[in-house]
Amino acid sequence: MCLVAPGADLGPILTHIDVLTVRWLSHLIESKKFSKLDPGELMTTWGVRGVDAERCTVVKLPDRADAKFMRRAGAAVGKTLGDDPVLVESTLGTGLREHLAQGMALGNYRFNRYKKEANKGDKAPDWRIMTPSPKVAQRNFEALGCAVEGTEFARDLVNEPSNVLTTTEFASRLLELQELGVEVEVLEEDDLERIGMRALLAVGQGSDSPSKVVVMNWKGSESPPLALIGKGVVFDTGGISIKPARGMEQMTMDMAGAATVAGVMKTLALGRTKASVVGIVGLVENMPSGRAQRPGDIVRSLKGDSIEVVNTDAEGRLVLADVMWYCQRRFEPVGMIDLATLTGAIIVSLGYEYCGAFSNDDKFYQRFQSAAESEDENVWRQPLSKSFDKIIDSTIADVKNVGDRWAGAITAAQFLKRFVKADIPWIHLDIAGVAWTPKPSKFSPRGASGWGVRALTRLINDHYSER
C-alpha cells in the first residue's frame, strides 16, 4: 500500500478504483444503476475508454464522508480485489484516504495458506492511492497500518486449525514478538503447579498438549500497566461434558481472546506506543481422556476459592479465574480487560453483530465504549448484579462453574467477577459471536475477524499513553 502524488510513475495497472468525482466516468455516474446505489456500494465496469486499466470500480460516496465511512467503503473495495495492482483516485478532502487504505487492507485479508490454488502470496499487493499530500498521508497510514498487521496476526492465529496451533505452537508464535521489543515469558506446567493455578491446569489435564501461560509485556512507558487477559483454549471439545458433533469444528477458534491480546501487543510494539501494557494468555486444550477432569470435581483456584466443576464445558472461566488473579497479584494493573469466547449464550443475545460487555466501572467502560465506537467495532453492555451472582453459589464448594439454563453469559461474567479485586476497574468482553463469523462481517471474510484489536489499541492510545 502506497499513497502517491499525482503523476507518479505507476506502471501497468489492472484495476482503477475511483472514489466518485471522476471526469471521464461521468456517463457511468449519471446512469440509473449508479443512482440506485447506496453510499459505500460499488459498481464495476470493464474496458472504459480513456482509462488505462482492465476494469474500473467506482465507489459511491455520501455527501459527507468521514473516516469511519471511508474505512467501511475501503473494506468493501478490499473484499472484491484480488492481488492485482490497483490505482485509487479521488477528490476526497485530506485525511480520508489513509482510512480508505486501512479499510482496503482489512477487507482484502484471506486465509488461504492451505489451498493449493491460493492466489495470494505473502507479498503485499501493489496498491497506490493518489493524494495531493503523499508524505502526510503515508505517515498517517503508518499508524493505521500497524493495527492492520496486528489484526492480521490475530486473524491468522484464530483461523489456524488446532492440529497446527497447539499450545506449544501458539507459545512459540508469541515468542516471536520478542523481535519487536515485547518481553515474552512462558510459564510451563510445573511453574503453574508451583504457583497454584490448579483451576487452569484442571482444564488442560486431559490433553497431550501441555498447558501454558504466556506473559507479554510492552514497556513503552514507566507507568503501572493496563492488563489484557485472553482465553486461549486451542480446542474445546467440552471435555467429559462433550459437545455435540455438529459444529464442533468451530471450536478451533476458542483461543480468539488470546489471539486478540496478541494482536494488540503486536500493534503496540510496531507503533512503538508510549504505554505500559501487559498481556497474559492462558493456553490449554479441553479434551476428554482417562486423565481429564470429571463433572463434580472440586478444584482449588489460585485465589484460594474452591470451584465445583459441574460442567467441564464451562472451562474458559476456570482458565480466566486463575490468569486474572495471577495478573492482579503480580502486576497491580490500573485496569484489566479480559477477552474470551466464553458463552454460546452471548450469541443468542447479540448474534454475530455485537460483542457483549460487562464492567464494574462506568468510567472505564465509557472509555472503552467510545474507542470501540470510533473504530466501528460494536459492543453492548450487559448487567452484573447480586441476584445473578447467587445462581452460581455451590452447596459443597465456594462457587460452581455453571448456573442454570438462563442468562448464561451473565452468570459466566458473575463467575469471573468473583476473581476480580474490588478496587480494580475491569471489563469482561464475551467475544464468542464477534471473533469468528459464519458470514463475512464488515471488515473481514467468513472466519476470524480480529474484533477488538483496533478498539483496544485506540483505548490505549487515547487514555493510557504518554504520546
Amino acid, single-letter form, for residue 263: G
Please state whether 76 falls in left (phi above 0), alpha (psi between -120 and 50) or beta: alpha
Closest CA to 231 of 190, 183, 191, 280: 280
**Rounded CA separation 204/287 (Å):** 7
Q: Which is nearer to Zn ion, 233 or 350 (CB)?
A: 233
Q: Which is nearer to ligand BES, 13 or 281 (CB)?
A: 281
Q: Is 317 one of the annotated active-site residues of the chain?
A: yes
Q: Is 243 one of the annotated active-site residues of the chain?
A: yes
- Decide the pairing of beta strands 355-359 and 426-430: antiparallel
Q: Please, which of residues 169-198 interact with ligand BES by CB under 6 A?
A: none
Report, in angstroms and rounded to the nearest whole number, the Rg of the chain calculated over CA atoms: 23
DSSP, collapsed to helix, strand or coil, labels residue 218 as strand
Q: Please, which of residues 331-370 interact with Mn ion by CB under 5 A?
A: none
Query: Is 232 among the residues that bind Zn ion (CB under 5 A)?
Result: no
**Through-space distance between the first and last CA atoms of the chain, rounded to whole angstroms:** 26
Choosing from 110, 219, 243, 274, the catalytic residue is: 243
Q: Which is nearer to ligand BES, 195 or 256 (CB)?
A: 256
The stretch among 13-21, 85-93, 104-112, 342-350 that binds ligand BES (CB under 6 A) is 342-350
Q: Which is nearer to ligand BES, 58 or 431 (CB)?
A: 431
> Quick one: what does residue 311 bind among Mn ion, Zn ion, ligand BES, none, with the CB cut-off 5 to 8 Å set by partner type?
ligand BES
Query: Is 285 among the residues that bind Mn ion (CB under 5 A)?
Result: no
Q: Supply the minimum distance, in Å, between the C-beta of residue 286 and Mn ion.
A: 6
Q: Which is nearer to Zn ion, 184 or 248 (CB)?
A: 248
Question: Residues 86, 16: contact at Cβ < 8 Å?
Answer: yes
Query: Is 285 among the residues that bind Zn ion (CB under 5 A)?
Result: no
Closest CA to 158 of 232, 102, 216, 238: 232
Closest CA to 216 of 323, 371, 360, 322: 323
Q: Identify any residues that bridge with 228 across adjacent strands, giving them in sequence order.
A: 279, 337
Choosing from 60, 97, 303, 317, the catalytic residue is: 317
Q: Please, which of residues 240-279 interact with ligand BES by CB under 6 A?
A: 254
Q: And the C-alpha cell for 354?
A: 455485537
Q: And the C-alpha cell for 376?
A: 466501528
Among 432, 448, 453, 459, which residue sits at the site for ligand BES (rule: CB under 6 A)?
432
Q: Please, which of residues 232-251 interact with Mn ion by CB under 5 A?
A: 236
Question: Which residue sits closest to Mn ion, CB atoms considered?
Answer: 313
Can you say whether the dihedral through the CA atoms of 334, 412, 263, 17 is positive or negative? negative
Q: Quote the DSSP letter at residue 330.
A: H
Question: Residues 167, 279: contact at Cβ < 8 Å?
Answer: no
Query: Is 316 among the residues that bind Zn ion (CB under 5 A)?
Result: yes
Query: Is 308 among the residues that bind Mn ion (CB under 5 A)?
Result: no
Among 152, 254, 285, 375, which residue sits at the site for Zn ion (rule: CB under 5 A)?
254
Report the catalytic residues: 243, 317
- Contact positions vs Mn ion (CB under 5 A): 236, 313, 315
Q: Please report, as ranges, the residues that interact with Zn ion according to CB under 5 A.
A: 233, 236, 254, 316
Residues that bind ligand BES (CB under 6 A): 236, 254, 311, 313-316, 341-345, 402, 408, 432
